[in-house]
């Protein structure tokens, strides 16, 4: 199917852009970070095709991280890999060194930890 045929199908309502993106995700078996990377790529592609003369959004430093862990046992929790890290993809929660998923907010009872201190103590496999 060429670009003209795809446009005709979209105009006719045979499928939507969302259907096309869902098909790409399913075809490539994308999950989690793969979907986020696809979204970032689409954003960059669309921005590049834009005729608007506005400046691009400043990109956050991809290495910038903020750590939170249990305030009653900061070093112990960091040593066993239990923390929340705010990075470019959001708040990622780790428990005993395992990635548990993304959370909407820092859990109650966690305190912010100095990044340098946290990255010295957290197991390297979690960084």
Q: Is residue 57 part of a domain?
A: no
Tell me: pLDDT of 40 over 90: no
* Per-residue pLDDT, 17: 79
Tell me: pLDDT of 56 over 80: no
One domain for residues 70 and 39: no
* Per-residue pLDDT, 58: 60
pTM of the model: 0.51
Q: Is residue 16 part of a domain?
A: yes
Q: Is residue 96 part of a domain?
A: yes
* Per-residue pLDDT, 49: 66
Rg over CA atoms, the chain: 20
One domain for residues 9 and 41: yes
* Per-residue pLDDT, 66: 92
How far, in Å, CA of 91 to CA of 103, rounded? 6
One domain for residues 81 and 45: no
Here the tokens at position 61 are 């430093």
One domain for residues 77 and 111: yes
Q: Is residue 60 part of a domain?
A: no
């Amino acid at each position: 199917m060429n670009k003209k045929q795809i446009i005709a199908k979209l105009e006719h309502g045979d499928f939507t852009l969302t259907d096309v993106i869902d098909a790409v995700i399913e075809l490539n078996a994308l999950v989690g970070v793969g979907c986020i990377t696809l979204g970032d790529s689409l954003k960059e592609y669309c921005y590049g095709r834009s005729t608007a003369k506005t400046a691009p959004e400043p990109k956050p430093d991809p290495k910038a991280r903020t750590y939170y862990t249990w305030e009653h046992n900061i070093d112990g929790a960091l040593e066993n890999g239990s923390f929340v890290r705010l990075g470019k993809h959001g708040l990622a929660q780790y428990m005993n060194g395992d990635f548990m998923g993304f959370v909407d907010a820092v859990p109650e009872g966690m305190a912010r930890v100095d990044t340098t201190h946290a990255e010295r103590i957290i197991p390297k496999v979690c960084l």
